[in-house]
């Protein structure tokens, strides 16, 4: 699968006269993991919402490869290959883990109602292929032994893995992770970190990671972009930006976890 770069160009966002994002530009190159970091209120979530189509910037451009994302609906952006995993996972609690994952395959199973009613061989083959893909992804994210469980009964950390599995099954080429380890214990954090590194090593995904845990940023990220008061104040490797005087000043008064 060919990966596209993400180009955020001169993006600005304001709400009620307050400018949350000011002329922000950066690039996520194919196959790279980029951390988007900064103190609380720096504009990270506002920027992520613009990239994923939940809000529209006042100015600027967001390109995935040659495709302009500004102006598209979130579902159209997902069709372009951009998937987002939110801080608080959303699962369909009354469905099994298996069915939650199969939902992500539904858009690839395009048959007429008559074909499905007749149970044509092509329909059965496609459904079998979808189930095989679901089982493969479930094993990848560590949920292969939980496929028959109701999603509502999953531990919190496993719900995050389920949401990540659905995004993978949607065929996402770029993954937006919004504070993915919030609420996880140490073992779950390590499991998620290893999964992200595995996905990257397979060449399947690029990642834009919003995270407060600087230990995780150091462990995972090739590059980091630092926001403060809606502006980029530093870009470079995690070590470079975390030793930048401007970054240290921006974090004064904040607890920088694992800094």
Per the CB < 8 A criterion, the answer to whether 232 and 24 are in contact is yes
* Residue-level pLDDT at 28: 96
How high is the pLDDT of residue 36?
96
- 90-139 pLDDT per residue, tens: 888 889 999 999 888 765 555 444 444 445 565 567 678 888 889 998 99
Q: Are 76 and 68 in contact (CB under 8 A)?
A: no
Per-residue pLDDT, averaged over 17-32, amounts to 93
For the chain, the domains span: 80-162
Distance CA 3, CA 82 (A): 11
Q: Could you report the per-residue pLDDT of 65-91, keeping only the tens digit for each?
A: 999 999 999 999 998 999 998 877 788
pLDDT at 72: 95
Residue 254 has what pLDDT?
A: 58
Which DSSP helix (H) or strand (E) runs through 235? strand 231-236
DSSP state of 108: G
Round to whole Å and give the CA distance between 48 and 44. 6
Choose among 170, 28, 184: nearest CA to 101. Answer: 170
């Amino acid at each position: 699968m060919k990966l596209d770069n993400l180009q955020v160009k001169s993006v600005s966002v304001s709400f009620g006269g307050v400018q949350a994002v000011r002329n922000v530009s950066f690039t996520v190159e194919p196959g790279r993991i980029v951390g988007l970091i900064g103190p609380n209120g720096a504009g990270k979530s506002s920027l992520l919402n613009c990239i994923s189509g939940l809000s529209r910037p006042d100015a600027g451009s967001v390109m995935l490869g040659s495709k302009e994302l500004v102006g598209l609906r979130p579902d159209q952006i997902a069709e372009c290959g951009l998937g987002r995993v939110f801080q608080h996972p959303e699962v369909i609690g009354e469905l099994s883990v298996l069915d939650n994952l199969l939902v992500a395959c539904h858009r690839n199973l395009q048959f007429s109602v008559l074909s499905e009613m007749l149970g044509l061989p092509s329909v059965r083959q496609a459904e079998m292929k979808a189930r095989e893909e679901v089982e493969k992804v479930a094993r990848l994210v560590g949920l292969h032994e939980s496929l028959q469980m109701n999603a509502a009964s999953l531990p919190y950390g496993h719900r995050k893995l389920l949401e990540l599995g659905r995004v993978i099954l949607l065929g996402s080429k770029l993954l937006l992770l919004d504070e993915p380890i919030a609420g996880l214990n140490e073992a779950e954090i390590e499991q998620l970190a290893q999964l992200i590194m595995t996905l990257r090593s397979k060449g399947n995904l690029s990642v834009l990671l919003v995270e407060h845990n600087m230990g995780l940023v150091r462990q995972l990220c090739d590059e980091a972009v630092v926001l403060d008061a809606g502006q980029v104040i530093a870009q470079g490797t995690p070590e470079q930006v975390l030793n930048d005087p401007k970054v240290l000043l921006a974090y004064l008064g904040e607890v920088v976890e694992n800094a």
